[in-house]
Structure 1
């Protein structure tokens, strides 16, 4: 996984873009009553705003906090994939309410009730999207971009 600053930046951009796009598609579908072909295009309109917000939050604040929280219930000696899952879980637990708040303020009626409703609707989807699709796809793309000569080690 990412080891250098450039790798961390690229990984975070890829993860943020995929995660944000999936969540915007979901929220557009909720707002319009279902998924149509147009839903995927409509979701692109919020990307220039939400991806940079997600990147900045994740890169500068959330990853460190999520890692610290994950290591309160997992140990450095645990299997690497369980460490990855624990950190991913904590990232969703932090990012989902924050990004729901940002989306509520920017795109909806700004009220506490609207934010709670948005967060409540988004959390199950964000968790599933991250754990089953986005995280796997982001790591696959990262490994495709940054091949480290693993074949040479064999």
Structure 2
């Protein structure tokens, strides 16, 4: 049982790291002359020029959704440890699973909005970077983690 709990916690921490890196790193779209993320769009064609991410409501929605996914994933991990010590024997971690599934849905919605609307933010010549891919990898891992929490029962 201890190995299972360690595996679940490691999966959850991996999801948190993926969410943090994908939100912070400036590599949602990249090209040889520019990079962009959720916060700024930088180009090195005529010197280093960066445009702050206030050009549209959609980029602010993506920013908010990614931050919410991080917050809900942190809360889910905190709730898991709280429920681990307070939940009765045979109880399920429904609240922990619900928060992790919400985090999964937030990252999915943010990545979908970015996918659909990024042509307004970056040139079409840029390709998706590793931070964008990490956000999409975090989505199924958070979903799997949330489902595991919902299925998991507390034993002694």
Q: TM-score, normalised by structure 2?
A: 0.34
Q: TM-score, normalised by structure 1?
A: 0.35
